[in-house]
Amino acid sequence: MNIKELSKRLPPWTKRLKWPGIVIISLTLLALISFLVIIFGGRFVVDEEDLILDEMTTVETEEGEVIERIYTKNRKVVPISSIPEHVQDAFIAIEDGRFREHSGVDFKGIMRAVYKDIIAMKKVEGASTITQQLAKNLFLSNDKTWMRKTKEVMAAIYLERNYTKDEILELYLNRIYFGEGTYGIEAASQHYFQQSVDELSVAQGALLAAMPKAPNTYSPFENPEAAEQRRNIVLSRMYDVGSISAEVMKRMQGSTLAVERAEESADTWSNSYVDLVIDEAAEEYHISRDELKRGGYRIVVEMDPTIQRIAAEEMKNGEFVPGTKGPVEGAFTLMEHDSGALVAVVGGRDFKHGDFNRVKAQRPPASVIKPLAVYGPAMMSGEYDPFSLLSDEQQVFGKKDWKPSNHDDQYDGQVSMYQALIESKNVSAVWLLDKIGIDYAKDYLDKLGLTTDDKGLAIALGGLSEGYTPFQLAEAYGTFPQGGTKKDSYTIRQIFDRHDEVIHEHEVNETEVFDAQTSWYMTEMLRTTVEEGTAKAGTYNKALAGKTGTNQNLDVWFTGYTPQYAGALWMGYDRTGNEGAELEGSSVYPTRLMKSILTRIDQQKNLQTAFEKPEGVESLPEPVDLPVITNARGDLDLTGLALLRGTISWSAPKDERIVYRIFREEDGEDVKVGEVTGKGEFKVSAFSIFDQTKYYIVPYDPLTGKEGRPSNTVTLEWDL
Active site residues: 95, 367
Residue 594 to residue 600: CA distance in whole angstroms = 10
DSSP 490-536: BSEEEEE-TTS-EEEE----EEE-S-HHHHHHHHHHHHHHHHHSTT-
Return the amino acid letter for 637.
Answer: D
Cα–Cα separations (whole angstroms), residue 719 to 179, 586, 683, 685: 103, 56, 15, 16
Residue 180 to residue 215: CA distance in whole angstroms = 8
563-572 core/surface letters (b: 16 or more CB in 10 A; e: else): bbbbbbbbbb
Alpha-carbon Rg for the chain in angstroms: 42
Looking at the DSSP assignment, which residues form a beta bridge with residue 659? 677, 700
Per the CB < 8 A criterion, the answer to whether 59 and 166 are in contact is no
Residue 105 to residue 161: CA distance in whole angstroms = 12
Task: Report how far Cα 479 is from the mean position of its chain's Cα atoms.
Answer: 19
Per the CB < 8 A criterion, the answer to whether 697 and 711 are in contact is yes
Per the CB < 8 A criterion, the answer to whether 311 and 346 are in contact is yes
Q: What CA dihedral angle connects 676, 680, 681 and 682, to 10 degrees?
A: 30
Burial class of 230 by CB neighbour count within 10 A (0 to 12, 13 to 18, 19+): buried
Return the amino acid letter for 285.
Answer: Y
Per the CB < 8 A criterion, the answer to whether 572 and 555 are in contact is yes
Per the CB < 8 A criterion, the answer to whether 138 and 175 are in contact is yes
Looking at the DSSP assignment, which residues form a beta bridge with residue 547? 559
Residue 504 to residue 120: CA distance in whole angstroms = 60
Cα–Cα separations (whole angstroms), residue 454 to 367, 370, 374, 449, 458: 16, 15, 15, 15, 9
Residue 102 to residue 112: CA distance in whole angstroms = 14
Instruction: Please compute, for residue 140, the number of CA atoms within 13 A of its CA located in the half-sphere on the CB side.
Output: 24
Residue 21 to residue 26: CA distance in whole angstroms = 8
Residue 503 to residue 494: CA distance in whole angstroms = 8
Residue 378 to residue 518: CA distance in whole angstroms = 9
What DSSP state is assigned to residue 695?
A: E
What DSSP state is assigned to residue 373?
A: I
Cα–Cα separations (whole angstroms), residue 149 to 35, 118, 135, 136, 286: 15, 20, 10, 9, 41
Beta strands in 514-651 (DSSP E): 545-551, 555-561, 565-572, 633-638, 644-649
358-370 core/surface letters (b: 16 or more CB in 10 A; e: else): bbebebbbbbbbb
Looking at the DSSP assignment, which residues form a beta bridge with residue 510? 487
Listed residue (375, 359, 306) closest to 67, CA to CA = 306
- SS3 call for 302: coil
Cα–Cα separations (whole angstroms), residue 131 to 52, 656, 689: 16, 92, 124
- SS3 call for 312: helix
Residue 648 to residue 429: CA distance in whole angstroms = 40
85-95 vs 202-210: helix crossing angle, rounded to 10: 30
